[in-house]
């Protein structure tokens, strides 16, 4: 090779080597990109989960980040629309090249995007998992119990602790959720040997009048009713029961109605509204279990709800795992670390969190029983420990 050509080749090699070093340096010193897909607008919204996750990451950044790198967090809105949910995932995963999704909360996001996450080899620590795919995908592991284990827990509390008989179910079914709710009921039956007295799976979301459903349940001889409602629906159902003079029915509900606004709206709760809170009850304002979460949420003007608890915990789990990674924090290293992580115990939950290598992730099986009584407008704790679904 002539001297001139040798110089050109050497210069090219130096440039390539320099470019490679620059890229490696940029990858290990730039921000760690994390995203989430959420219902921030639409019929049902859950903004607190991603807000809480951001607050955790902002606090971590203020303390030096993860091994000296800052967390760059983006929360996108799926608007309750499948197309928007798919587009949001592709933006944060494909364009932004996030290393993981953390704190997502949506009615549809898991069902729409779980196969895409598998294709892209990215994992999601859901703040609040709702639809069945959140708990049946190898790439999604929610921080919360979820509505299906929640239903098993509320039935267990009703039949085994309150010793109630003649329990019925009024189910509000969206999309493909009926099999999952039926499986939750079947799990309760398998544990207790008991059956529901009556089941109506035709109850509508957002119904204008629930009187006919309440009348049918009362005529069926129901003494207690489990329902999976959003707050406005449950308020309508309790008002319909009160209007019929049905004041001795016990309501076995889910964490979806656990809020201070709901408590303020209920004057007649029949024989009581019971809920297995998915996280340590936030209405216990002096609890040491929630102290750090409560202080961070209050500082950032984020509502104190179960949704913000889920987002907060999802971000904490991610940080603990990410800080233990040796070398660069990439999608590949984060995925490996989450698959191989040891369980993380937190006083805000009754079950240790672990992502792990499983093909499904539905391992949070504990709730804390709480009660709303007529005329109190306040939730109260009715247990000294977590209620857990027995291991098979």
Give me the residues of the chain with pLDDT under 50, please. Answer: 1-26
**CATH of 32-146+286-361 given 3.40.50.2300, 3.90.78.10, 1.25.40.10, 3.40.605.10:** 3.40.50.2300
Cβ contact 277:370 at 8 Å: yes
- State the pTM of this model: 0.90
**What are the CA-CA distances from residue 256 to residues 79, 105, 330 (Å)?**
19, 13, 35
Q: How many residues does this entry show for the chain?
A: 392
Whose CA is closest to 386, among 337, 351, 350?
A: 350
Cβ contact 387:365 at 8 Å: no
* DSSP code at position 132: T
* DSSP code at position 30: S
Cβ contact 78:116 at 8 Å: no
Whose CA is closest to 223, among 295, 149, 167, 145?
A: 167
Q: Do 32-146+286-361 and 147-277+368-388 share a fold?
A: yes
**What are the CA-CA distances from residue 186 to residues 91, 98, 198, 276, 277 (Å)?**
39, 39, 14, 18, 21
Give CA–CA dist 137/68, Å, rounded.
32
Give CA–CA dist 2/8, Å, rounded.
10
57 sits in which H/E element = helix 47-62
Q: If DSSP codes are grouped into helix, strand and coil, which group holds residue 102?
A: strand
Burial of 391 (0-12, 13-18, 19+ CB in 10 A): exposed
What confidence score (pLDDT) does residue 46 get?
86
Q: Give CATH superfamily name and number for 147-277+368-388.
A: Response regulator (3.40.50.2300)
Q: Which residue has the tokens 């019971």?
A: 274
Burial of 301 (0-12, 13-18, 19+ CB in 10 A): exposed
Cβ contact 151:389 at 8 Å: no
**What order do you get walking across the sheet with 100-102 strand by strand?**
71-77, 32-38, 100-102, 124-125
Q: Which residue has the tokens 């009926």?
A: 178
What confidence score (pLDDT) does residue 28 get?
67
- For the chain, what are the domain ranges? 32-146+286-361, 147-277+368-388
What confidence score (pLDDT) does residue 306 get?
95
What is the maximum span of the chain, computed from C-alpha positions, in angstroms? 101
Give CA–CA dist 126/37, Å, rounded.
9
How many other C-beta atoms are found inside a 10 Å radius of the C-beta of residue 392? 6
Q: If DSSP codes are grouped into helix, strand and coil, which group holds residue 69?
A: strand
Give CA–CA dist 278/254, Å, rounded.
9
pLDDT tens-digit profile of 129-143?
999 999 999 999 999
């Amino acid at each position: 090779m002539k001297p001139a050509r040798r110089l050109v080749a050497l210069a090219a090699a130096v440039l390539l080597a320099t470019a490679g070093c620059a890229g490696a340096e940029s990858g290990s010193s730039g921000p760690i990109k994390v995203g989430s897909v959420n219902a921030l607008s639409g019929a049902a919204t859950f903004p607190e989960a991603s807000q809480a996750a951001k607050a955790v990451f902002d606090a971590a950044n203020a303390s030096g980040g993860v091994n000296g790198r800052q967390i760059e967090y983006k929360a996108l809105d799926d608007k309750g629309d499948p197309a928007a949910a798919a587009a949001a995932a592709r933006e944060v995963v494909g364009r932004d090249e996030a290393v993981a999704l953390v704190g997502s909360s949506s009615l549809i996001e898991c069902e729409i995007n779980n196969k895409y996450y598998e294709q892209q080899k990215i994992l999601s620590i859901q703040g609040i998992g709702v639809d069945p795919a959140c708990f049946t995908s190898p790439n999604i592991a929610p921080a919360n119990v979820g509505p299906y284990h929640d239903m098993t827990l509320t039935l267990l509390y009703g039949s085994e602790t309150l010793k109630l008989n003649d329990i019925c179910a009024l189910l509000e079914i969206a999309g493909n959720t009926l099999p999952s709710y039926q499986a939750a009921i079947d799990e309760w039956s398998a544990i207790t040997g008991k059956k529901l007295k009556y089941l109506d799976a035709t109850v509508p979301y957002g119904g204008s009048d629930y009187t006919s459903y309440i009348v049918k349940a009362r005529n069926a001889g129901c003494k207690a009713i489990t329902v999976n409602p959003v707050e406005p629906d449950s308020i309508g159902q309790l008002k319909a029961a009160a209007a019929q003079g049905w004041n001795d029915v016990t309501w076995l509900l889910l964490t979806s109605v656990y809020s201070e606004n709901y408590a303020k709206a209920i004057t007649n709760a029949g024989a009581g509204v019971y809920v297995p809170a998915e996280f340590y009850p936030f209405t216990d304002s002096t609890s040491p279990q929630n102290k750090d979460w409560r202080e961070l949420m209050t500082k950032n003007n984020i509502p104190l709800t179960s949704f913000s608890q889920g987002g907060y915990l999802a971000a904490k789990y991610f940080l603990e795992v990410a800080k233990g990674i040796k070398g660069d924090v990439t999608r590949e290293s984060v995925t490996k670390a989450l698959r191989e992580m040891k369980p993380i115990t937190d006083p805000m939950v009754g079950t240790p969190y672990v992502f792990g290598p499983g093909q499904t992730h539905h391992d949070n099986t504990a709730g804390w029983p709480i009660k709303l009584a007529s005329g109190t407008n306040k939730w109260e704790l009715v247990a000294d420990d977590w209620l857990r679904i027995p291991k098979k």
